[in-house]
A and B are shown apart, each in its own frame.
Chain A
Amino acid sequence: MSFARAACAAIAGMLIVAACEHPGGSGHDPVVYRHAIDGIPASLDPAHAANVYSSTLVVNLYDTLFRYRYLSRPYELAPNLASGMPEVSEDGLTWTIRLRENVRFADDPAFPDKRGREVTASDVVYSLGRHFDPGTRSQGAWLWRDRIAGLEDWIDAGADPDRRIPGLYADDDSTVVFELTEPYPQLAHTLAMALSAVVPREAVEHYGREFGVRPVGSGPFVLEHFDETRAVLERNPHFDRGELDLAAEGHDRQRHAELGLDVLDGETYPFLDRLEIHFITEPTARWTSFVAGEVDNVMVPPEQADRVLASRDPIRFTPEFERRYHTQAEPEAGFVLYGFNMANERIGHHPDEHIDRANRALRCAIRDAFDWQERNDTFYQGLGQIFPGVIPPFLDAFDPSLDTRSTDHDPQQARARLQAHGWTPETLPQLTYGLEASVHQRQMFEQFRARMEAVGIPQNRLRSRAFASFGDFSRAIGNRELDLFFMGWTMAWPDAQYALQLFYGPNAAPGANSFNYSNPEFDRLFERAARLDEGEERTALYRRLNEMIIDDCVHIGSLSRTRLHLWHRHARMLPDREMLGGYFLRFVDIGATP
């Protein structure tokens, strides 16, 4: 009897001990999500975060004043480091932004006592001001230049961070004030870009040039490892933004039912202990890694589209893939297009009206001769969305009813135009087609040339120039050496103005207007629209501007590629690969594999 009692006591004891061993379930394995992106970020310095790869990392290591709601589409701004949306004065010239309290930078040896201090409004001012110091080599200075009162004088005087900029200052520790030279409705959008992220002065001065690989921010994660193949981020213990509010983030019961995010509502984020971001540029390797389970997500390479899709119109994944993974098909926030160099008088603007019209006819003829559907089928598996002009489908200002004749393949009309204006193989100018030396670009050139030949533009009228590096290609465009080129444009904020600026006169090369388009009427309307807030008047102006460039045949375009995403079922998230994304990583959770 005593033995049995002793045994019971022992068992009871063991059970009690076992129950006490893991209070609150703290003995769990680290929650790790392995994300794959299709490019390699060069630098993690916010001032250099001009592409989507750097942005993805920077927005998770640092704080920006604003961000975009997790699930809302179209994209909607939300406060991030700011405590609310900005207060804008009546005339649109004064912006007051209040900051959240108790936000701290991560601990780092750069700080005097190795502890991260609180983020203040002066940090915001400093972070923006450093873009104008030549030593920063900023890629984002253009966003705020000529917009802020007294900025140019301050720059001329040496861009000294200890001197106050009249139009950008900290009213107190948690209030930032902008005083603008003219209304700038897009300012909030610029403050949601990785380029505007807030950095501590101590770290910048401590690490100097190495700041690009030694990030010190107040974001949800801190950097643990970074090389050319991957980055490893760990949860930032000082990050505290409260709980995830799914409704506020744009959760829609119907659209997002499948994602399994409900369980995360009301939970403190970030949910991950560790975030690995793998840089896999080769499509083969990306796909293989995903299928082998080495990474948790993939942007499906176009070559694999046949395998994963059951139909293209509408886009539907095969039942097998629907069952095994989460799926998503989204148009990119950007587009690809061909552009002409309007500064070349043989094909672009010409002072003589008669010749100018003939040039225009030539450009339009080339546009008619080009076959977008063929391009779509050959290189984008037919999944791209072809649309006229440069206002892509994902924007509000997009007009589905816009005449699509400018994107139709019409060799007959091309021939007619050429004939009507006396363009023969003898009179045609020789055009320099510039391209980056990659397999796809070369093939695209050959395809383009074949279409031109089909309407009577002989091969020798189209000379190709390949550039092994993007820098050289940019330089050639900047020096106006290329007459025709294929390029992509990524939208940094969801506003058609960002695309229309490609045709704004003052932006001519080396600026964004690589086409060197110069139309005073266009510029006038563009400037008018730039001052307006979102609304009907602005949308009408945008559409008018869009029609103008279509009429003038300045470009051949455009096409928005459709991104197919797959991710493993244990990852609870809605990924976003676009420039405006990257913020989603803080809301990712890994659950048990169903």
Chain B
Amino acid sequence: MTPGIELLRFITRKLAASLPLIFGVTLISFTLTVHLGPDPAYAMLGKNPTAADLAAMQRELGQDQPFWQRYASYLRRLATLDLGHTESSGEKVRDLLARTLPVSFLLLAPGFVLGTVLALLLAMFAAWHRSGRLDRLITGMSVIGMSLSFVIIIIALQAIFGVWLGWFPVRGWEVHGPASYLNHVTIPTLAFVLASIGYNTRFFRAMLVNAMTADHVRTARAYGASPIHIMCRHVLRGCLLPIITRIVYSVPALAISGSLLMESHFSIPGIGRVTYQAILSGDQPVLMAVVGLSAVVFAVAVTVADLLCRLADPRIRLA
């Protein structure tokens, strides 16, 4: 069997195994947001509605149907990718996602990449100088970073850079090119890096320290190889799996939760903000699309993580 086909079978098997997961996610989310969530009917009525108006609106929104009927029709629409229209403006949910997902990606990608790379570098320094001054300093700063609330970081940065110094725009996303992109993305990136670097550094450091106790590492050190060589060649190899797993797994969590607070505060038209507004107003088509999307992204992330681990370490079977 060629490796290509084997790979394909692996991926298919993994994704198929995720189906119960997707089912579970959609069921739970549907129950929470549609069945038990906020009632959009009242918000959509005019100034002086009658009881008849209310009943008509509820009928329009399908609220008079039993739970399983609504869930079944939802699953059907999801399977055919008929995502419907948002309740607020009538825009196609598909168009909404196409508009907001790239913005969220552009917003979070630099912070994510920078945060991860910086954390790795700091962790490597810390692990190499373990128990030394640098390690103490980096570990200490990591704990401080972990203790800072994202909310505090955002308020502080907005106050300092936006209001006092006025160097960067405090809101909006008017991106026409590289210059305006850098202008708008700097503060969010900074906020994100500050918020995540503590956790990441500590985790990577722990993994690296663990890997450094391996025999071949100590041998290399004894032979006087350069720190960079040892770090990249030997140590990183040893803990590649947990690091890769963690990085890949943090992407789905990041996509919605990470962007939610930032986009709300900086008025950036991304998916996080849209989702948050949808939760509050009970905009069900949007919510269901986002939840379905995040379930799929999660399943893909699991598959990719497994795949990368296998690529990194051929000893792991494609179980």
Contacts and interface: CB of A to CB of B under 8 A. Distances in A.
A511 B45 CA distance: 10
A501 B46 CA distance: 14
B46 A227 contact: no
A44 B43 contact: no
A285 B267 contact: yes
A42 B91 CA distance: 10
B279 to A, nearest CB: 8
Contacts of A212: 89-91
Contact of A210 (B57, B88, B90, B172): B90
Contact of A474 (B43, B92, B170): B43
Given A42-B88, A228-B273, A294-B169, A501 B42 contact: no
Contacts of B60: 134-135, 137
A229 interface: yes
Interface in B21-47: 38-47
Interface string A503-514: 000010011100
Contact of A139 (B41, B47, B281): B47
Contacts of B91: 210, 212-213
A139 B47 CA distance: 7
B219 interface: no
Most A Cβ at <10 Å: residue of B44, B54, B90: B90
Contact of B85 (A42, A209, A288, A471): A209
A472 B267 contact: no
Nearest to B274: A228
A163 B85 CA distance: 29
Contacts of B274: 228
Contact of A227 (B54, B99, B158, B281): B99
Contacts of A590: none
B39 A471 contact: yes
Interface string A392-414: 00000000000000000000000
B48 A474 contact: no
A288 B99 contact: no
A169 interface: no
Interface string A316-330: 000000000000000
Contacts of A50: 46-47
A141 B268 CA distance: 34
A281 interface: yes
A532 B169 CA distance: 53
Contact of A284 (B88, B89, B90, B158): B158
A202 B101 CA distance: 32
Interface in A257-295: 278-282, 284-285, 288-289, 292, 294
A175 B47 CA distance: 29
Contacts of B313: none
Contacts of B163: 284, 288
Contact of A43 (B41, B57, B90): B90
A468 B281 CA distance: 9
A124 B88 CA distance: 25
B61 to A, nearest CB: 9
Contacts of B158: 284
B282 A282 contact: no
Nearest to A54: B89
Interface in A539-561: none
A478 B54 contact: yes
B166 interface: yes
A140 B46 contact: yes
B42 A474 contact: yes
Contacts of A292: 166, 169
Contacts of A478: 42, 54
Given A137-B44, A510-B54, A227 B49 contact: no
Contacts of B45: 139, 474, 510
Nearest to A42: B88
A470 B48 contact: no
Interface string A188-231: 00000000000000000000111111000000000000011110
Contacts of B43: 469-471, 474
A228 B270 CA distance: 9
B171 interface: yes
Nearest to B91: A213
Contacts of A44: 89
B51 interface: yes
Contacts of B273: 228
A580 to B, nearest CB: 15
B162 A510 contact: no
Contacts of B40: 471
B48 A468 contact: no
B49 A510 contact: yes
Contact of B38 (A208, A468, A510): A468
Contact of B56 (A134, A142, A492): A134
B110 interface: no
A475 interface: yes
Contacts of B42: 471-472, 474-475, 478, 510
B27 to A, nearest CB: 23
Contacts of A471: 38-44, 281-282
B145 interface: no
B164 to A, nearest CB: 10
Contacts of B51: 510
Contact of A138 (B38, B46, B268): B46
B59 A43 contact: no
A435 to B, nearest CB: 15
A507 B48 contact: yes
B187 to A, nearest CB: 12
Interface string B139-169: 0000000000000000000100011001001
Contact of B170 (A210, A213, A227, A285): A285
Contacts of A141: 46, 53
A47 to B, nearest CB: 9
A228 B267 CA distance: 8
Contact of B267 (A138, A142, A229, A511): A229
A439 to B, nearest CB: 13
B86 to A, nearest CB: 9
Nearest to B44: A137
A279 B267 CA distance: 9
Closest 7 CB pairs of A and B: A471-B43, A212-B90, A139-B46, A474-B42, A285-B171, A209-B85, A42-B88
Interface of A: 42-45, 50, 134-135, 137-142, 208-213, 227-230, 278-282, 284-285, 288-289, 292, 294, 468-472, 474-475, 478, 492, 501, 507, 510-512
Given A135-B60, A279-B267, A511-B49, 11 more contacts: A43-B89, A134-B56, A142-B50, A142-B53, A210-B92, A284-B163, A285-B172, A289-B169, A468-B280, A471-B38, A501-B48
30 contacts: A43-B90, A44-B89, A137-B44, A139-B44, A139-B45, A139-B46, A142-B47, A142-B49, A142-B53, A209-B85, A209-B90, A210-B91, A212-B90, A228-B267, A228-B273, A229-B268, A230-B174, A282-B265, A288-B163, A294-B169, A471-B43, A474-B42, A474-B45, A492-B47, A501-B48, A510-B45, A510-B50, A510-B51, A510-B54, A511-B50
